[in-house]
């Protein structure tokens, strides 16, 4: 799996155009995944992070390759780790599909289409090396790219388009290179023998193993 493209920090100043806005609020959940309130995103992520709503998205190109990104070193959690295309948090009252589209623009500078949920019930808890906890109900989505990537340097330091079989092998053989949520998601999703993910009848990775 070739991981090559690096974001140029001084190519363009996008600090005012991308990234998650200061003061963004996340949706807090109870153990039944029912919303119970909201909290500031920067305040909620700590050593005892409350359960909250998020999402992950795997972005495909017209050749059926999947985008993987390397988290910027400035990220609070799992800096420098390879992960799925992008993640984010819906704001209170915001539909998840709309949040996926918004976050693609903020983090990757790109429009997406064909947003669909492929694992609505994914939930995980993980602790990074600094003791910060992620504790999320995190539905998994796929989408296809529309336009040219222009990742925000405060979010993404490198990226690559890879075929799904190579990515699956890499995650299986070196899971420590990837984010814990991505490793768990790929164990649940069917990553082989599905049709072209850009096709209208695609089910990749559109079914969770049961």
The DSSP output letter for 196 is P
* Run of H or E residues at 35: strand 35-40
pLDDT in tens, 76-95: 899 999 999 999 999 999 99
**Residue set of the binding site for Mg(2+):** 107
pLDDT in tens, 182-209: 999 998 886 644 444 444 333 233 333 3
Please name every residue paired with 133 in a beta bridge, in sequence order, or none if there are none.
127
Q: Is 57 one of the annotated active-site residues of the chain?
A: no
For the chain, which residues make up each domain, given as ranges?
Answer: 24-188
Q: What pLDDT does residue 146 have?
A: 83
Among the options 20, 91, 136, 154, which is catalytic?
Answer: 136
Question: Helix, strand or coil for residue 136?
Answer: strand
The CATH architecture assigned to 24-188 reads Alpha-Beta Complex (3.90)
pLDDT in tens, 16-72: 334 556 678 999 999 999 999 999 988 898 999 999 999 999 999 999 999 999 999
Q: Among candidates 69, 65, 76, 87, which has minimal Cα distance to 5? A: 69
Count of C-beta atoms within a 10 Å radius of residue 176 = 7
Q: Is 155 one of the annotated active-site residues of the chain?
A: no
């Amino acid at each position: 799996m070739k991981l090559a493209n690096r974001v140029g920090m001084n190519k363009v100043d996008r600090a005012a155009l991308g990234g998650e806005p200061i003061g963004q609020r996340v949706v807090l959940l109870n153990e039944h995944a029912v919303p119970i309130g909201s909290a500031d995103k920067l305040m909620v992520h700590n050593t005892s992070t409350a359960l909250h709503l998020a999402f992950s998205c795997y972005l495909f190109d017209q050749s059926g390759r999947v985008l993987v990104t390397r988290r910027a070193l400035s990220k609070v959690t799992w800096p420098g780790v390879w992960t799925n295309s992008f993640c984010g948090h819906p704001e209170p009252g915001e539909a998840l599909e709309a949040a996926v589209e918004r976050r693609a623009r903020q983090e990757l500078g790109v429009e997406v289409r064909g947003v669909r949920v492929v694992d609505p019930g994914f939930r995980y808890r993980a602790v990074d090396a600094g003791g910060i906890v992620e504790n999320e109900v995190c539905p998994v989505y796929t989408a296809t790219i529309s336009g040219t990537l222009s990742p925000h340097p405060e979010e993404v330091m490198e990226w690559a388009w890879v075929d799904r079989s190579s990515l699956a092998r890499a995650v299986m053989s070196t899971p420590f290179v990837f984010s814990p949520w991505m490793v768990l998601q790929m164990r649940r999703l069917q990553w082989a023998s599905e049709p072209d993910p850009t096709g209208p009848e695609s089910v990749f990775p559109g079914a969770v193993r049961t």
